Amino acid sequence: MSLEATILAVLLTGALGLFVLLPLLEREETASSRPGGGAGSARQRQALETLHAEKNRVLRAIRDLDFDYDLDKLTEATYAAQRIYLIRLAVAILKRIDELEAEVVSQQARVEAAVAALRGARRA
Calculate mean pLDDT across residues 68-90: 95
pLDDT digits (tens, 9 = 90+) for 42-51: 898 899 999 9
Task: Judge whether 110 and 32 are in contact, CB under 8 Å.
Answer: yes
Cβ-in-10-Å burial (0-12, 13-18, 19+) of 115 comes to: exposed
Whether the predicted pLDDT of 16 surpasses 70: no
Whether the predicted pLDDT of 22 surpasses 90: no
More confident residue, 32 or 21: 21
Question: Residue 72 — very low, low, confident or very high, per pLDDT cuts 50/70/90?
Answer: very high
Q: Where are the domains of the chain?
A: 3-26+37-123
